[in-house]
Amino acid sequence: MHKLSLAALAHFEHPRHAGSLNPQHPNVATARINSPIDGAILQLHLQVDETGLISAACFKAYGCGWMIACGSLLTEQVLGQTLVKAAQFRHHELVEQLAVPPEKLHCAVLTETALKAALQNYAAKRNFATLPASPCKEC
């Protein structure tokens, strides 16, 4: 086992936004992604408010401490973001902030994949061909 960095340990011991939202709600996006490398699973739920901001984010993870830390940090980072801004997220942000070692890079990649899948799920639920453009010039 690779020792968790201090930042990863904080998220592992006290995960932020662990849990789930009602996947049947029209404003809740869902994704469940499995890792073929180690069997890890990440479930992600995002709730989008009427202005297009992510107003709630929850995750459940089955896997190592790195997987839990990545899921926890992701939910913190996407809260309050537009869908367009969230779609720009890259796993490198998790790698840098949590000091994810190369052997656990797949945990960060799986987390990014779950976010992309949840955003696609939301677009499909709302009958968008793609995510709506952000009205904010800085977003």
- Quick check: 119 and 29 in contact, CB under 8 A? yes
How confident is the model over 83-108, as pLDDT tens digits?
A: 999 999 999 999 999 999 999 999 99
| Cα 136 to Cα 12, 53, 56, 128, distances in angstroms | 34, 11, 20, 19
How many residues does the structure list for the chain? 139
The reply to whether 43 falls in a domain is yes
Q: What is the pTM of this model?
A: 0.90
Instruction: Report the share of the chain in percent with pLDDT over 70.
Output: 91
The reply to whether 138 falls in a domain is no
The reply to whether 32 falls in a domain is yes
How confident is the model over 30-62, as pLDDT tens digits?
A: 999 998 888 999 999 999 999 999 999 999 999
Domain, as residue range, for 19: 6-125
Tell which wins on pLDDT, 125 or 138. Answer: 125
pLDDT band at 73; cut points 50, 70, 90: very high
The reply to whether 41 falls in a domain is yes
The reply to whether 131 falls in a domain is no
The reply to whether 134 falls in a domain is no
Query: What domain count does the chain have?
Result: 1
The CATH number of the domain holding residue 119 is 3.90.1010.10
pLDDT of 127: 84
